Amino acid sequence: MFRLATPPDISERDLIEGCLSPALPTRRAAQRMLFERYKRAMFSTAFRLLNDYDHANDALQDAFVDIFRSLDTFRYQSTPGAWMKTIVVRHALRKQQFEGRFISLDESLHDLPVPEPDTLTGQELEAAILALPVGARTVFLLIEVEGYSHREVSDMLQISEGTSKSQVSYAKKWLKKRLQRS
């Protein structure tokens, strides 16, 4: 049974059970706690994929509506966070238009200003990742940051595994060139 307490005191299983409660006040309180527990991590994922604050918020809102509607299908085969992240990624990807957004490996890498390696900050790295062309950035983030396989990414984006691999390769070369000493 769901109990009201501070969010750190409630297990994920209890939160999910509370979100499925027939009692509206309990359900709403549990939904709010679940949202509060995961909103930052899920927004971060959406923002990295979309590179747009408003679109990331829209994707997050739409994803949580779907999460709450389909929570009864969650079977604990993964963590609730991993399951929710998949839904957030799908909503973020729907916000993007992929036609013509993938980069040919023949395309030259741009001459970009390069920070000194000793002075590279997390913000500069994040800015470099966000500056990647959208297709390469999306595949790079899904593979290297979110931990999806090339097969999963190819299914999500409806591209070949080869395209997924080439986009990660392009992104790594692009980032290396941008972040290395000239």
Q: Return the pLDDT at 113.
A: 46
Average pLDDT taken over every residue of the chain: 83
Domains of the chain: 7-95 (1.10.1740.10), 117-179 (1.10.10.10)
Q: How far is CA 176 from CA 18, 111, 112, 146, 182, in A?
A: 47, 12, 11, 20, 11
What local confidence, expressed as pLDDT, does residue 30 receive?
A: 94
Give the H or E element holding residue 174: helix 161-179
pLDDT of residue 7: 55
Predicted TM-score (pTM) above 0.85: no
CA dist 165 and 178 (Å) reads 20
pLDDT of 121 higher than 80? no
Model pLDDT for residues 34-83, shown as the tens digit of each residue: 999 999 999 999 998 888 899 999 999 999 999 999 999 999 998 999 99
> Is the model's pLDDT at 159 over the cut of 80?
yes
Q: CA 34 to CA 160: how far, in whole Å?
A: 35
CB 66 within 8 A of CB 86: no
pLDDT in tens, 80-105: 999 999 999 989 988 875 434 554 54
Give the pLDDT score at 8: 66
